[in-house]
Amino acid sequence: MKNKIQFQKGYSLIELMRDYGTEEQCRNTLFQLRWPQGYACPQCGGKSHCTLKTRALYQCNHCHHQHSLISGTIFEATKLPLATWFLAIYLLTQAKTGLSALSLHRQLGVSYNAAWSLKHKIMQVMKERDDSKVLSGVIQLDDVYWGGERHGGKSGRGSPNKTPFVVAVSVNEDGHPIHMNMNVVKGFRSKEIERWAKQHLEPGCQVVSDGLACFSAVKKAGCQHTSIVTGGGPACVSLVEFTWVNTMIGNVKNSLRGAYPAINHRHLPRYLAEFCYRFNRRFELDRMLPRFCFIAVRTPPMPIRLLKLAEVYG
Ligand SMILES: [Zn+2]
């Protein structure tokens, strides 16, 4: 049998160029996605307007208020052509593995700084999107550190210079993975796990974790909890309850290490979100770009100084 993911109908670079190769096509697409009911003046609500095409500005015929296509969105204040954005979004959403700012800089012919900011803005949209959804059903949950080996020994829980995050994978009745979340946490403490669970899990879901004490705090978020004491080591990897969460932990570590030689720990949440975003939409390659743009015009601007700020937990 053919692999369902590898052989799905994709979206080729040729199709991308055909649909979004010019500024006008990109502008029209964003306009449709931002104002599906037609443009309405944010000042007076008037629908009648004229377009100052070169700057993608809309001017109200009634009160003359001007509004730009991209103001108030993640695209705000960009100096890059929209077609460059679309190509970057295409590359980042369709790629099987991550694409670094350096490769983006080379492939798009933009400066490294522009590529970095483009990549992090796109990852920010992915993060905000997946943060707005909760996992439900049966959920495999585990704790991980970025920058060290997991479980046991000095390099495990509680050691310095490692960023703790949780990995949660929802599985169906056949035990197949459906969706996943990976979120950096302040530490593996009950209060923090409770906060995380309230944000990312649907009340009533069934959480299965190992024996780490703080995980029982998901009950305070209204979830059921079963803990299976594994004792760590290779034996726990073979437990069916943890098959997928263990697989995903292995995959994300390999993928991030392979694509990004040096991840700044402060930005780990966005890299994790990018990995999950692609996984959660692995059956939707052909629809990924318009769906991404629909969210992008609803994601607030993220100036570079904010992008570079200290880590956001979530
Ligand atoms: Zn107006």
pLDDT tens digits, one per residue of 245-275: 999 999 999 999 888 878 888 899 999 999 9
Closest by CA to 33, choosing from 277, 290, 285, is 290
Residue 44 CA to ligand 1 center (angstroms) comes to 4
The phi, psi pair for 305, rounded to 5°, reads: -65, -30
From ligand 1's centre to the CA of 125, what distance in Å? 29
174: left (phi over 0), alpha (psi -120 to 50) or beta: alpha
Distance 120 CA to ligand 1 centre (A): 34
| pLDDT top residue among 220 and 285 | 220
Task: Calculate how far, in angstroms, residue 42's C-alpha sits from the geometric centre of ligand 1.
Answer: 7
54 C-alpha to ligand 1 centroid (Å)? 20
pLDDT score, position 7:
66
Q: What is the pLDDT of residue 233?
A: 60
pLDDT, position 225:
95
Q: Residue 245 C-alpha to ligand 1 middle, in angstroms?
A: 52
Expressed in angstroms and rounded, the spacing between residue 47 Cα and the centre of ligand 1 is 8
Q: How far is the CA of 69 from the centre of ligand 1 (A)?
A: 15
pLDDT at 186: 93
pLDDT, residue 151, reads: 47
CA of 57 to the centre of ligand 1 (A): 13
CA of 79 to the centre of ligand 1 (A): 27
Measured in Å, residue 33 CA sits from the centre of ligand 1 at 20
**Residues 182-227: tens digit of each pLDDT:** 999 999 999 999 999 999 999 999 999 988 899 999 999 999 999 9
Distance 50 CA to ligand 1 centre (A): 11
For 130-172, the DSSP string reads HHT--B-SEEEEEEEEETS-SSSSTTSTT-TT-EEEEEEEEE-
13 Cα–ligand 1 center, Å? 39
> Global pTM?
0.88
pLDDT in tens, 152-171: 444 444 555 789 999 999 99
The mean pLDDT of 73-93, rounded to a whole number, is 95
Per-residue confidence (pLDDT) for residue 286, from 0 to 100: 84
| Distance (Å) from CA 20 to ligand 1 centroid | 30
Q: Is 266 exposed, middle or buried (0-12, 13-18, 19+ CB in 10 A)?
A: middle
Residues in contact with 137: Cβ distance below 8 Å, sequence separation at least 6, in sequence order: 170, 171, 172, 178, 205, 206
